[in-house]
Amino acid sequence: MDGLATTGLVTWLNSLQPQVEAAVISAVATAVGIIGTTVVGLAGFRHARRVANATLEGQRQTSIDERRFAVYEDAVKYLLRLTELRPEFYAFWPEINDSSPDFKASPPDHGAPLGQGADIDARIVAWASNEIRSLWQQMRDADDQVDVGRMQLRFRSGQTDFVPAHPIATPEELQAVKGLINDSTQAAHHRRQGVIEAIRKDLVGTKALK
């Protein structure tokens, strides 16, 4: 009897082996499917996040470029107008050739478009590239040198409230001061043109300028 029972148990187990194997295969396949789905899901999520971040960064950069280009256009307009009011050669300035009597009596900053300088300066600081900001500051420094010379000339010519109304310098000395101012106006003009060219490179690219 024992022998028959053992033989029957073995036979029964053998008959179950295909079912067990199928169940194991099914379980493994299910596990692999779940893992695969999870991996694909994570990969898809990371890809979607990268795409979303790239899109946001692209939109941000586009917004920055639009603001920067608008500032550059206004800056070029300002510089061209400033060049009209402050020619390269000081002898052509209205305060020297007497083409505008009101100009001579006005303060030194009359040569700049009133109400625009501070606004353009602030926008350049906020939005311009580092190169343009540096060139802009150099241009401003050159214009300041011109104004220092102009103030000195007005003082030595007796055109201020701090000295008598008659000149306190000889014609030769005044001419020497005018010569220094002329050198400063040329330097400022060249700085101004350098800023315009640098802005054009930023706007249209180096290749487009060739």
- Percentage of the chain surpassing pLDDT 90? 25
- pLDDT recorded at residue 111: 46
The Cα 79–Cα 36 span in angstroms is 63
Q: How confident is the model at residue 12 (pLDDT cuts 50, 70, 90)?
A: very low
The Cα 15–Cα 34 span in angstroms is 30
> Mean pLDDT for the chain?
74
Q: What angle do CA 137, 143, 148 make, to 5 degrees?
A: 125
**132-157, pLDDT tens digit by residue?**
999 999 999 999 999 899 888 888 87
pTM of the model: 0.63
The Cα 71–Cα 79 span in angstroms is 12
Distant-in-sequence, close-in-space partners of 112: CB < 8 Å, separation ≥ 6: 82, 85, 86, 143
CB distance 184 to 145 below 8 Å: yes
**80-122, pLDDT tens digit by residue?**
988 888 889 988 887 776 654 444 434 444 445 555 788 899 9
**177-204, pLDDT tens digit by residue?**
889 999 999 999 999 999 999 999 988 8
